[in-house]
Amino acid sequence: MEYEDFRLKQPIEHPDYPRWSKYAIDRINKIMQKAIDSGENQIFIRTNLKLGLPMENINKVAGPFIEAWAYQTFFAISEDPKNPYKLVNVEAKERLYMADVILVFRLKDKPEQFINAEVDVKATAEDIKESGKSPNITSYARIRTAYVNDPDYLFIILSIKHRVHSTKNPETKMFDGIMEVTTFNAYDLKYISSPDISYNPALGTGQIQLRDIHYVDLVERNTLDFCLLLDKKYLNSARRTVDDWYKLAKKNEWIKEDE
């Protein structure tokens, strides 16, 4: 059979989804900008190194620091029940989960309604060329299944740029580091343009990647169209066949099986 012969389950998103997506991203952007503007964008790293930090490779350890900083920043906001961003809950996720943190926002015009935004934090070094340019986002099968199970699934990529300064501590004579968040961008994965999304078949069912996280075009599309786009990326790989796709689709219940 050809791909077109299968009867796909068609996830239908809520008509308000585009508004929910914009609402969550707007608040994430405002929270990040507030942290930068108020000087709460620095991470201090104390070491016992006498000859300086390995600046040329510092980006290799930056990711967990930036993720922890982002979680702390969101959590601090949520602790204030009257915060202007309507952020009511923040949950850090385990390492193998698709997102790093889940944010829950209360809608401003509908206080009884909440929006869940799963956020994947990606760190890139501002002063190291190619740093974090084409990150793995998540497994093809996992993200495809997430959208089938929840047509209103909101998965946001938060790209955070940083730079690191190395200073000698006058008391200890050791070198300390200051990691400073400089800029950021937040994207709804479902709205990232097709040319900006790539598929790497090397790991498991394959990884969805961004070609260049610093330069992304956005195209509003619905959940079904995004699932079709993901399938196209998968099937365009020389290492994948329609039979491979069918096995995944059957296992993850993406298709309507004939009785």
Q: In this predicted structure, what is the pLDDT of residue 131?
A: 59
Per-residue pLDDT of the chain in tens (259 residues, 90 and over written 9): 899 999 999 999 999 999 999 999 999 999 999 999 999 999 988 888 887 777 777 777 788 899 999 999 999 999 999 999 999 999 999 988 999 999 999 998 787 899 999 999 999 888 666 555 788 899 999 999 999 999 999 999 999 999 888 888 888 888 888 889 999 999 999 999 999 999 999 888 999 999 998 889 999 999 999 999 999 999 999 889 999 999 999 999 999 876 4
Q: In this predicted structure, what is the pLDDT of residue 85?
A: 96
Q: Please report, for residues 12, 120, 243, the alpha-carbon distance to residue 226 in angstroms, rounded to integers and kept in the order given.
A: 11, 18, 21
Q: In this predicted structure, what is the pLDDT of residue 92?
A: 95
Q: In this predicted structure, what is the pLDDT of residue 84?
A: 95
SS3 for 79?
coil
**Residues 233-237: contacts with CB under 8 Å, at least 24 apart:** 233/140, 233/197, 233/198, 233/199, 233/208, 234/140, 234/199, 234/206, 235/3, 236/199, 237/199, 237/201, 237/206
pLDDT in tens, 177-207: 888 999 999 999 999 999 999 999 988 899 9
Q: In this predicted structure, what is the pLDDT of residue 171?
A: 83
Q: Enumerate the H helices of the chain as residue ranges.
A: 17-37, 59-78, 140-149, 223-235, 242-252
Q: In this predicted structure, what is the pLDDT of residue 130?
A: 59
Amino acid of residue 105: F
Q: In this predicted structure, what is the pLDDT of residue 108?
A: 82
- Domains of the chain with CATH codes: 12-252 (3.40.600)
| Extended strands (E) in the chain | 42-49, 87-92, 101-106, 114-125, 136-139, 155-168, 175-188, 197-200, 207-210
